[in-house]
Chains A and B, each alone.
Chain A
Amino acid sequence: MEEIINERVPEQSRPIIEFRGVSKTYPTGTHALEDVNIRINNGEFVFVVGSSGAGKSIFMKLIMREEKANTGIITVNGFNLTSMKRKQIPLLRRTMGIVFQDFRLIPTMNVFQNVAFAMHVVGASDRNVRKEVSKALSKVGLGNKARSMPAQLSGGEQQRVGLARALVNSPDLIIADEPTGNVDPNMSYEIVSLLTEINKRGTTVLMVTHDHNLVRDFQHRVIMLDRGKIVADNAGGSF
C-alpha cells in the first residue's frame, strides 16, 4: 500500500480527485472529454450535471479507473491513475463506494447478504461483517429490513440498500451515478439527504444527476459538463 498511495494527508484542503489536462478519445474518433482540469477536495459534496453525451459517464469511469485517459494526469485518493497497474485497481476501488442508478442488488440475496457481499469481497471476517452491515443498514434506516429480498422493497428502499453497500467499507469517497434516477421525487430528497448526512461526517460525495431541483435545493458545488468540457464550476448550487 505504501508504494501506491502517495502521502495521504487527511486534510480538508487535500484534493481527493484531481484532473490535469485530461482528454479521452474513443477509437472511433469521438472526443468524450477534452482538456479537463478539476480539483475536488476532501470532504466536498459535488454535483456533476450535464445533458446526455456531455461526458458525465466517462468522467465517472475515469475516476473509477474503468477506463484510462489518453492524455493528462488523474489522481484519486492519492492514487495516480495514469501510471497505475491493473492489479492495483482493486486497492483504489476499496477507498470508494459506488451507488448505481439501477441499484444493482443481487435478486437472490436478501438485504443483509447484498450489503455483506461488499465486505466479503475485501476479505472481512464474519464477525466484522455482521457488525458493520447492521450499522450500515441502521444508517440508511433499513435496520428492520435485513431479511427482506430486493423484490419486496420499493425503489427508494432498494437504493438505500445500495447506499448501505457503498458505505459499509467506510470509504473516503462516494460516487453516486444518478442515484435518484429510478425513484420518486420524495424518495430522491431522502436519498440526497442521506448522502448529505454522510458527507457531513467527512466522506466526499460525487453525485451525477439530471434533477435540477435537487441541485438547487441542496446547495452544493456543481460541475457542469457539455460536449466533453467543463463549462461551469460553481459553489452553492447554481448553474
Chain B
Amino acid sequence: MKVSSVRYLVKEGAKNAWVNRLMTLASVGVLVACMVIIGLAILISENVNKAVGKLEQQNVVMAYMKDYNWALYGDKTDASSTDTSSAEDSAAQTSEETQQTEEQADENGIKNSDYVIHNDDEAKALCDKIAQLDNVASVTYVTSDEGLESVKKSMLEGQESYFTFLDDKYGNPMSGAAKITMKNMEQFDDTVNQIKNMDGIDTVQSQNDLADKITAIKRGITVAGFWIIAILMVIALVIVSNTIRVTMYNRKLEISIMKAVGATDSFVRIPFVVEGMIIGLISAVLAEGLLYFCYRVATETIISTLGTSDIVRYGDVAWWLLLVFAGIGVFAGILGSVIMISKYLRHEGSEFSAI
C-alpha cells in the first residue's frame, strides 16, 4: 500500500472517531472503566503477593539438631537409631559402637557417641547441607544460647523466669537449630521431609497450615485475576465492536461507493481498525491517569490510617500497566473492528443496493 493511501486511511479513521464522537466517548468511558478494574485487580494482586511474600519470609522452619543439649534433655537412645539411613552411615555407626566401649561418660553421663553434632563447625556444615536443597531460600545457624534468648523474649512478662530457673539449674535446654526459609510454599512438605531425614536433625518445627494458606491465597488470586481480566476483555471487545458497527452503518453510503469504485476489503477495513485503535489508545491513557489518581488517594489513606508503608508504589508498575492497557485497547480495537467489518463485507449482494 502506498504512503499516500496509508496517510489517507489513518486520517479517515481519526475523522470517523471524531464524527462519531458521542459513540466514541461512550466506548471510551466503558473501556476506561474496564481497564481501571483490570488495573485495580492487578494492583491488588501485586499488593497481596507482596504481603504473602513477606509472610513466606516469616514462615520460618526451625530444624533442631542432635547436639549435646539434645542428648542431655532428650532421648539418648535415638542417637544411634538415626544413623541407619545409608550403608556408609551404618559403617560409621559400627565403628562408633566399637569406640563406645572405650568411651568415658562426662559428669552428666553423656558420652561423645550419644549425640551427632559435637560443635559449631559440625552444626554449620549441616546448615550448609540444608542450604543445598533446591527449595531452600536461606539457612541461618541459631546457637542454643541464641535459641534460649529468643524463646525468653517471646514469652510473656514474668514467664521468662521459668527458663532462667532451668538455665541456672540444668544449663540451657535448647538445642542448636537451623533457621530455614523456603522458596516455594507448594513444595513445603517435601522439603520439610527432606530436612527431617538428614543425619543430625532431631525435629523440624514448621507451620504447615500457614504454608497451605499462603499457597491457597496465591492460587486464589491468580485464578480470580485471570477471570476478571478475561471477562472484562470480552466486555471491551463487545463495546468496541458495537461502536464500530454504528460507524459502519453511518458510513454505509461511503462503503458502497468505495466498493463500487474498486476498493479492496482491506482498504474499506483500515479506517475502522484505525478508529478502534484510537478508541483503545485514548482509553488506555485515560485509564492510566484515573488509576494513578485513585491508587494514590487509596494508598495515602491506608498509609495514614494503618501506618504501613509496605504497599506497591504506582511508579513501579506504571509503565507496565500502561502497556497492558494499551495492549488491551489495541487488541479490542483491532479485533472488534475486524470482526464487524468483515462480517459486513462478506455479505454478498448488498454492496450497492442496500443503502
Interface, chain A (partner B; CB < 8 A): 57, 61, 64, 66-68, 87, 90-94, 97-98, 100, 102, 104, 106, 108, 117-118, 120-126, 165, 169
Contact = CB atoms under 8 A, between A and B. Distances in A.
A123 B5 contact: yes
Contact of A90 (B253, B256, B263): B263
B272 to A, nearest CB: 15
Contacts of A97: 261
A91 B262 contact: yes
B254 to A, nearest CB: 6
Contacts of A93: 259-262
Contacts of A118: 257, 261
A100 B261 contact: no
B258 interface: yes
Interface string B332-355: 000000000000000011011101
A121 B4 contact: no
Interface residues of B, number: 25
A92 B260 CA distance: 10
B298 interface: no
Contacts of A120: 5, 8
Nearest to A60: B352
Nearest to A94: B262
A72 B175 CA distance: 99
A169 B19 CA distance: 28
A121 B258 contact: yes
B267 interface: yes
24 contacts: A67-B349, A87-B264, A90-B259, A90-B264, A92-B262, A93-B259, A93-B261, A93-B262, A94-B261, A97-B261, A98-B260, A100-B352, A104-B253, A104-B257, A106-B253, A106-B257, A108-B19, A117-B258, A118-B261, A121-B263, A123-B4, A123-B5, A124-B4, A169-B261
Nearest to A91: B262
Interface in B83-141: none
A93 B253 CA distance: 17
Contacts of A100: 352
Contacts of A106: 253-254, 257
Contacts of A92: 262
A165 B261 CA distance: 9
Contacts of A102: 355
Interface string B25-69: 000000000000000000000000000000000000000000000
A118 B5 CA distance: 12
Contact of B351 (A66, A124, A125, A165): A66
A57 B260 contact: no
A184 to B, nearest CB: 23
Interface in B263-306: 263-265, 267
B349 A61 contact: yes
B169 interface: no
A93 B351 CA distance: 12
Nearest to B11: A120
B353 A66 contact: yes
The 6 A-B pairs of least Cβ separation, nearest first, read A94-B262, A93-B262, A121-B263, A118-B261, A90-B262, A123-B5
Contacts of B263: 90, 121-122
Contact of B352 (A66, A68, A90): A66
A169 B4 CA distance: 17
Contacts of B254: 106, 117
B2 to A, nearest CB: 5
